[in-house]
Amino acid sequence: MRELLGIQKRREFEIFVRMCALRMGQVLNTVEIARDSRISPNTAKEWISLLEDSFLIRLVHPHHTHRTSRMIKSLKLYFLDAGLAAWLAGWRDP
């Protein structure tokens, strides 16, 4: 499957997904995730898009009554499967 998705660095991708899981519910900072995963920021952006297109994550705009503020505010990253996110983040106990 990773060949179909164009992912050549399997280990780096696994680390990247785990880093995303650890940041679930936080403001998305692709530069920080890229640094911690030891990949380029452009690769991080591509992989975020890949995860979103695969329905594993969702980038959520903050709710704000003023439309301009909603567009300016940063996105937050959420996994659509909280159990998967917990497992990836290393949480083994309920």
Quick: pLDDT tens for 29-67: 999 999 999 999 999 999 999 999 999 999 998 776 666
Residues of the chain with pLDDT > 90: what percent? 66
**Residue 71 reports pLDDT greater than 90:** no
Report pTM: 0.79
List, in order of start, the domains of the chain with CATH numbers: 2-84 (1.10.10.10)
**Residue 19 reports pLDDT greater than 90:** yes
Q: What is the pLDDT of residue 38?
A: 92
**Residue 28 reports pLDDT greater than 90:** yes
The 10 Å Cβ neighbour count of residue 78 is 17
pLDDT-derived band at 10, boundaries 50, 70, 90? confident
